[in-house]
Chain A
Amino acid sequence: MSGQPFASGLTLAVGAVLVCAVAVLWLSSLASVIRAVSLQGIALGTVAIVLGLHLHDPALIATAAVVIVVKGLAIPMLLRHVTGDQPLERETRPLVNVPASLVASAAVIFIAFARTRGIARYVGTTAGSLVPVGFAALLVGYFVLVSKRRPVFQMVGILLVDNGISLVAFLVTAGVPFLIELGVSLDVLLAVVVLGVLAVRLRTDFGDLDLDDLQELHD
């Protein structure tokens, strides 16, 4: 794949990753948030496929397959398992309300574009010029992480940060070597499993709680 179809295909897929991250901010029901996370994983895999076709790199296509299976399918399934019988659970008391957080995410995206053009120029490829979008997705993930208080939403925040970093990796160097990507994906999957077990344990042992209720340890 090369020329115009490559550039527009790549831009579309990269844009989808960012849109999914922002969607998490205004979607309130957990079921739709998990759907957004799943779509983001698939979009991320698509970025790798497009790049792989462009560079004729079979290892990158294999990476894409791993990404889609782990981030598009397995992790969302785990998240659904954690939410269990409360698929309509909502973030009832976010630290920042929806309109304000959308404004904040716009600011964050603006900062990402302003600050990372240097790296984009240094990379110097079509993919490289899209690097600011990757940083924007990463920063929106951080915003989700610090502004939400339900355990599952924090897991989603971590995933968004992680997907943002993977996107940057694909755009600047066409991904890290395959074996390392395999190890990284496995680590992320296991971390989500551990977080899921802890979230379920928090709910079964101590009832339905916000992370703000965890205030036992302090000086």
Chain B
Amino acid sequence: MALIGLLLLPLLGAGVLAIGRARPAAAYTAVATNCAVLVLAIGVAVREREIGPLSGAYGVLRADALSAFMALVIGAIACLASWIGVRMIAADLAEQRCSRARATTYLVLVQGFVAAMLLAVLAANVGVLWVAIEATTIVTTFLVGHRRTKGALEASWKYIVICSVGIALAFLGTVLVYLAAMHTGGHSASALDWTSLRSHASHLDPAVMRVAFALLVLGYGTKVGLVPMHSWLPDAHSQAPAPVSALMSGVLLTVAFYAILRFKAVMDVAVGPSYSRALLVTVSLLSLAFAASLLLTQRDYKRMLAYHSIEHMGLIALGAAAGIPLAIAAVLLHILGHGLAKSVLFLASGEIMAVEGTSRIDGVHALLARRPALGGIFGVGLLALLGLPPFSLFTSELLMIRAEFEVGLGWAAAAAMVAMVVIFVAVAAHARHMLFGPAAGARAGTGADTGAGAGAGDESGGIGSAAPGVSSPLVTAPLVAGLVACGLIGVFAWPLTGLLSAAAHVVAR
């Protein structure tokens, strides 16, 4: 029951929005349904710890500790992103930047997006998982193209073409898994269930499973944004409205990675861990190296955040490659910490873009002096994302590195650390430019060479911090809450340790 409720809540919000035509009351009801998702997900997690895996909808849905944890991450970030999204749409409507119909479509699609991600993590069956992940692509394409500029259209076309082709490979992989499962004498209706795959894993044909797993990593890896299947990611993340980028980067990438984790659990029993380890270490190091090299020369802060996501997906893949319970628990903690910090940063970058009128790094200057609240959130968020204590990303990165050394992947961890240092220096240099400097006259000095940013810059410099609603506590409070949560989880992991360790043992035994 609870599981069906989880899926229906965001859809209920969508229904209210469709009827209420995106009026404030309807929009805030939708936000409330997303917060209810978070509460219900916590409830499911607690219940799962008490009585074991829950199932619902005639066995189509199933929640073990791993699913419950992912639902919790989705709920938390959906709350943040939909709250800011409603504020953004209200501002767009007030300034007549978009029609009411388009505002309604946007808000309804966000609800559908959340529901599709929940279906993906709650699906008991790998086929349903595939359908749900493909559904997220379909729903988010319009969200990426929401602004209707040439760049947004280009990004959404690239996004759907690359992801549809990638996800098609994952379907081929799923078909091959089904073939191997049928050859173990599985019953056709249940052969694709996680539980049945897991229990028959030792009988699955290793040769077929090797091909299948490579296709699954390529396919779902496209949605995760792992190099070399990443090319849609920086475009989509930089063109989408900030709340959509927050949801995509904060949770959609890791929901796709969840699929890889599940198949890895089956794979390690069927073939042994060395094959999946080799595959994951390769894509992980490629992603880290690529992200580091492009972050050095990055000129756009939204793209900077996007490449930073590629780095973190690489780290998560490296943690998963280690495969021992400690590593998987660290991966899951990293998924939560990265989701919180990255969505706060994308939401803050949306605010920065709204007031500064440019997404270029050299178009933004002295943010801390001119807009202390916004600049402070952006700066602290970056520190969290770069893995500084007390934030939870510090804890999870440390645990992952320890796990790498335990399984003999120390060399890979060392290579990853080199990339992380390069990224730290690059991002810190960009952040220094954006955040520090004297408030007055800064714009006049840099305005001439900022190109596209210059025209809009002069204007917004004149408006200054007097722009209405910009740093209102209604916007900053949820962002601060997100960062505080990320810090608290880093310091006191105790409410989560039981769930994390149970979830880790779903994947690694």
Contact = CB atoms under 8 A, between A and B. Distances in A.
B287 interface: no
A133 to B, nearest CB: 15
A176 B179 contact: no
B39 interface: no
A201 B149 CA distance: 11
Given A158-B161, A194-B160, A214 B154 contact: yes
Contact of B298 (A123, A184, A219): A219
B160 A195 contact: yes
B175 interface: yes
Interface string B221-254: 0000000000000110011000000000000000
A161 B179 CA distance: 20
Nearest to B171: A165
A118 interface: yes
A168 B179 CA distance: 11
B297 A184 contact: no
Contact of B168 (A165, A172, A179, A186): A165
Interface in B433-482: none
Interface in A112-169: 118-119, 122-123, 138, 142, 145, 151, 154, 158, 161-162, 165, 168-169
Nearest to A172: B179
B151 A216 contact: yes
Given A168-B175, A216-B154, A219-B297, A173 B164 contact: no
Contacts of A118: 207
B157 A180 contact: no
B138 A190 contact: yes
A168 B145 CA distance: 34
Chain A at the B interface: SS class: helix
B178 to A, nearest CB: 5
Contact of A183 (B131, B142, B156, B161): B131
A217 B127 contact: no
Chain B at the A interface: SS class: helix
Name which of B141, B161, B234 has the most chain A CB atoms within 10 A of its CB.
B161
B161 A173 contact: no
B294 A205 contact: no
B205 interface: yes
A104 to B, nearest CB: 18
A217 B303 CA distance: 10
B323 to A, nearest CB: 27
B59 to A, nearest CB: 12
Contacts of B239: 217
A69 to B, nearest CB: 18
Contacts of A66: none
Interface string A172-191: 11001101100110110011
A191 B134 contact: yes
22 contacts: A119-B179, A119-B208, A122-B207, A161-B165, A165-B171, A173-B182, A179-B127, A180-B128, A180-B192, A183-B131, A184-B131, A187-B134, A191-B134, A191-B138, A194-B160, A195-B161, A198-B157, A201-B145, A202-B157, A214-B150, A216-B150, A219-B294
Given A172-B176, A177-B127, A216-B151, 19 more contacts: A119-B179, A123-B179, A145-B165, A158-B165, A173-B175, A177-B189, A180-B130, A190-B135, A191-B164, A194-B142, A198-B157, A198-B160, A202-B157, A211-B157, A214-B158, A217-B154, A217-B234, A219-B234, A219-B294
Interface of B: 125, 127-128, 130-131, 134-135, 137-138, 141-142, 145, 148, 150-151, 153-158, 160-161, 164-165, 168, 171-172, 174-176, 178-179, 182-183, 188-189, 192, 205, 207-208, 211, 234-235, 238-239, 294, 297-298, 303
